[in-house]
Structure 1
Amino acid sequence: MSTEQTTAADGFSYTLTRTLDAPAAQVWRAWTTPEQYAQWAYCAPGSVEMDVRAGGAWKATVVTPDGGEFPMTGSYADVAENRHLVIAMDVPGKPEPEKMTMELSPQDEARTRITVHQTCDTTEARDMAEQGTTMLLDSLTAFLSR
């Protein structure tokens, strides 16, 4: 069973933390393997590409519940296998990508705490990003419990 803790939004930032019933290496593979990521991250089949290394690129097409498709691109700003990932997301009209940090902390051999943090430009952007990340963590939790 997973637990969830949401740290109150501070300015335009949010932090979400959960404890997942999976070892860190399994969580890492779910987040960094295109085939696994596509299964839980609301992506169109075959749309996920990942070069998981600092400076490596990624892309995916996210499918919304109403069937809309949104291509997303970015790169990895920092990578420490099984521990830390800084994901840079390209945003149309913005000169710099938005960055999201994902940290994995093993709790024991079978459980991992995941912490996701992001700072946005506005309250609205933060709220939308936090809602999207909450949905992702819900789906990741279900994926890992199979």
Structure 2
Amino acid sequence: MSTQKITIDTMIDAPVARVWQAYSTPADITQWNFASDDWCCPSASADLKVGGAYSARMEAKDGSFGFDFDAVYEEVEPNKALTLAMSDGRKARTTFEVENGKTKVTTTFDAEDQNPVDMQRDGWQAILNNFKRHVEAD
């Protein structure tokens, strides 16, 4: 498995409590957890505690492809950080930092070996950008 780490981030014009809620609540997750408008997230679950399960279904809207993203929470520090251990052994850590009344969200994740690093970074960044749009639209 690759040991390369990829980092993405965004600045969201919203209080950290709202950003945390949108990032960790299944009803919100289904509204933003996809990289483009031709995809969707029809279901999500989040047992927000260390050892709790996380799952999100991602699908092309035309039904041509879909997959489940499954993980377990290894760290849960409300309004500050969470770490997911993915089913393939990789990890993703997301932090939430207040800066000048806004919230900086940063995710660092282990790259996988099947797709180019740039493709992985761009895909995860697109999802994070969609998250930002969702939160700021409230």
TM-score by structure 2 length?
Answer: 0.83
For residue 87 of structure 1, report the CA deviation from its aligned partner. 1.1
Distance 1:81 1:125 in 2: 32
> Does the 8 Å contact 1:119/1:126 carry over to 2?
no
**Gapped regions of structure 1 (runs ≥ 5):** 1-10, 92-96
1:70 maps to: 67
1:98 maps to: 90
Aligned partner of 2:135: which letter?
L
2:79 maps to: 82
2:20 maps to: 28
User: RMSD value over aligned CA atoms?
Assistant: 2.0
**Gapped regions of structure 2 (runs ≥ 5):** 35-39
TM-score by structure 1 length?
Answer: 0.79
Distance 2:16 2:4 in 1: 28
Distance 2:75 2:121 in 1: 21
Q: Which has the higher contact order (CA 8 A, sep 6+)?
A: 2
2:37 maps to: none
C-alpha change, 1:123 and 1:40, in structure 2 (3 Å) is: same
1:113 matches 2:110 = no
Aligned residues: 129
- Say which of 130, 134, 138 aligns to 1:139: 130
For residue 44 of structure 1, report the CA deviation from its aligned partner. 3.5
